[in-house]
């Protein structure tokens, strides 16, 4: 079945440390891929997206993600985390003809000072 | 500001009451969606509308109805609210051309409590 998996439910990093959030998808071709961020009590905001071409994509707030076809992954990274990055992060994919995104279950990021 | 507007932001209902959640977008998007978000369960699709005049069930449609009033507006109705419908509801819209979806724009959510 087509699915998006975020293996980590919670991640805690120290402020200033690097961050990598994992995302894997299950699909026979290359989907369109997205990362969203949700701050507490807020809606979801698009961080970045991958459609084709360069496998390293840059997003807002200093985030980047790398698409690896061989691993069916689209991991989100940030070199130095700030306390304001504490939020829930969702990976999503468009994997079939039509117009619905499939979302992962989310990863909650905690930042410790 | 361009985007997706949801009303109301908060609502408390008694079991059995009905209500309609409103959603409007001003980005000329052709597709619209309703999701619910519950702790530990991520986002689950309730209903969606691929284009004006069409609606389809998502993953969890029971207890809900929708209306795509025009290209801008997509409402979600709870006919007889139940405590299990306590959740945060998000509306989203997107551009769909050809085979794929270019990503959603989300509203800020409606926090619904059914007592």
pLDDT tens column, A13-52: 999 999 999 999 998 888 889 999 999 888 899 999 998 8
Residue A53: band (very low, low, confident or very high) from pLDDT cuts 50, 70, 90? confident
CA–CA separation, A14 vs B59, rounded Å? 37
Contact A42 B31 (CB under 8 A): no
- Mutation choice for A interface testing from B103, B105, B106, B108 by most A CBs within 10 A: B103
Structure tokens, A60: 């807002």
Structure tokens, B48: 């969606």
Contact A90 B105 (CB under 8 A): no
Report how many Cβ contacts below 8 Å link chain A to chain B: 58
List phi, psi (to 5°) of B83: -55, -30
For residue B98, give every residue at least 6 positions away whose Cβ sits within 8 Å of its Cβ, in sequence order, or none.
none
Residue B15: band (very low, low, confident or very high) from pLDDT cuts 50, 70, 90? very high
For residue A54, give every residue at least 6 positions away whose Cβ sits within 8 Å of its Cβ, in sequence order, or none.
none
Residue B99: band (very low, low, confident or very high) from pLDDT cuts 50, 70, 90? low
Is the Cβ–Cβ distance between A92 and A109 less than 8 Å? no
């Amino acid at each position: 079945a087509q699915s998006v998996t975020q293996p980590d439910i919670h991640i805690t990093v120290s402020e200033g440390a690097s961050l990598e959030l994992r995302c894997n998808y299950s699909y026979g071709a290359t989907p369109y891929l997205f990362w969203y961020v949700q701050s507490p009590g807020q809606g979801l905001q698009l961080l970045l997206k991958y459609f084709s071409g360069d496998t390293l994509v840059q997003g807002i707030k200093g985030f980047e993600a790398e698409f690896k076809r061989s691993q069916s992954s689209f991991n989100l990274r940030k070199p130095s985390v700030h306390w304001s990055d504490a939020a829930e992060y969702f990976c999503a994919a468009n994997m079939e003809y039509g117009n619905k995104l499939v979302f992962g279950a989310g990863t909650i990021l905690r930042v410790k000072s | 500001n361009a985007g997706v507007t949801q009303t109301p932001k908060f609502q408390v209902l008694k079991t059995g009451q009905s209500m309609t959640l409103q959603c409007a977008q001003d980005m000329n998007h052709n597709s619209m969606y309703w999701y619910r978000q519950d702790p530990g369960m991520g986002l689950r699709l309730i209903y969606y509308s691929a284009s004006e005049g069409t609606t389809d069930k998502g993953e969890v449609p029971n207890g809900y109805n929708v209306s795509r009033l025009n290209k801008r507006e997509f409402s979600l109705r709870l006919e007889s609210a139940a405590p299990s419908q306590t959740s945060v509801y998000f509306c989203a819209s997107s551009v769909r051309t050809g085979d794929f979806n270019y990503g959603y724009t989300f509203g800020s959510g409606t926090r619904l409590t059914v007592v």
